[in-house]
Chain A
Amino acid sequence: MTPHSPARRPASSMTGSVARDASFPTRLQPFAATALALVVIGIPLWLVVATAGKSRGEALIPDLTPPTHWHLLENLGEVWSEGEVPAAFFGSLLVVVPAVIGVLIFGSMASWILARRATRLNAVLYALAISGIILPPAVVTVVLLLRQLGLAGSAVGMIGVYMGIYMSTVIFFVTGFVRTIPTSLEEAAQIDGAGPVRVFFHVVLPLLRPVLATATILVCLYVWNDVFYAFFVVGGRLDTLPLNLFRVAGAGLYLNNWHLIFAYVILMSLPLVVVFAVAQRKIISGITSGAVK
């Protein structure tokens, strides 16, 4: 739809409601929408930035006044060095990267078969596989299970738990997408004598790029920001960014140190915001095409 859609034609021949339709609210809309966004999103975000830029004394009771002197970089630096951010950042990467890559590859492999072999068994397996989208994971007993497997508190255990939780999301999105891809390319490769592994990695996987982009951002979003599952599985053993924020925001160093809490929030949110800003258009179209059939 273009800004000047064909609906905006002269109102002279139309009824009164059409004239009202096209003019006043339409012209008012950009201002009303911008004002709404500034109040609803702008104020909370400004509170974060302004408070993160204040000195300790000024930030004791966080408010919307701008800091008299900006200390933003100092505060970010203090959080970075004293809040053990580098370790937590590394911990987050250590868990998020393998979990996301693993869940995407294994999920896509399963989705390919589920989409291409429409048997009764596969219909049941598919329903089972996507049930995890809605069903809550058993957070307490997973700890016990990991202990029995010798994976308690380890990065491997955490990666496995995240893969188990988000496998459903990947299979849901990818299976739907595979069904829309014609089989002719796969068949051509098969006739040329390619085995299933070759066909999957050289023909199918590249075709899945749009849906994998969507699934990547969704799973990253959940895993990067997760604190609940991390608390149970690796709490106290391995630090991730949210876990670290959760721990220090309640404890001594950060008690009533809102400037440091919000500096931390900025540091933690930046990576995802940057990724999103770069790939924004692709991500938006991917997320929406999967959800609305």
Chain B
Amino acid sequence: MSQSAMGIGAAHAAGTEASPYGIPSKKLAMWLFITADAATFGAMLFAYGYLRIANPDWTRPFGFWPTIVNGIVMTVVLLTSSLTMVAAVAAAQSGRVSASVRWLGATILLGIAFAALHLREWLAMIGDGWRLFQNPMGGSPLFGAAFFGITGLHLLHVICGVVVIGAITIGFRRGRFDAGHVETTALYWHFVDLVWMFVFPLVYLMNVR
């Protein structure tokens, strides 16, 4: 074998070296993205916490009805969407394409329901006079910035997730994507769910009247 051919062979071997974590590169990339994004949400929640401590006139506007009940329903919807997502991954990994597509469709519907409930709540608050830097209850105007900033970033993640799951569903059904793609997308969706597990108690329950 010539020297150049041996060089190409060695480079090829290096390129197909086993993953140190035993997972595909796209899954590792998603884990790295999730870690960075968790730090972003962490920064926002810390900022919110310190804003709250620094403002003695912090507003606590949320009543049990409708806000907290709406928040509970949104939480259950999002948790259920995680369950349908793991069912989709399990079906995809066992080669049951149509079952996986059905579970992915259920996840999309639950994601849309969450976004619709969230937007309905936002519109009700905007109707009551809440803005990014305007507090109709007369307390700190930073409440609106913190609330709309944190929940808005989360809602953006939900909407992006719904779009991506839709694209993955179509690709998986047509055979363009495999079960690994479904699993990687599921990681993102579960992360969006987990972020809400912090947003709901800290931004909603801690601001109950």
> Do A and B belong to a common assembly?
no
Enumerate chain B interface residues (CB-CB to A < 8 A). Answer: none
Enumerate chain A interface residues (CB-CB to B < 8 A). Answer: none
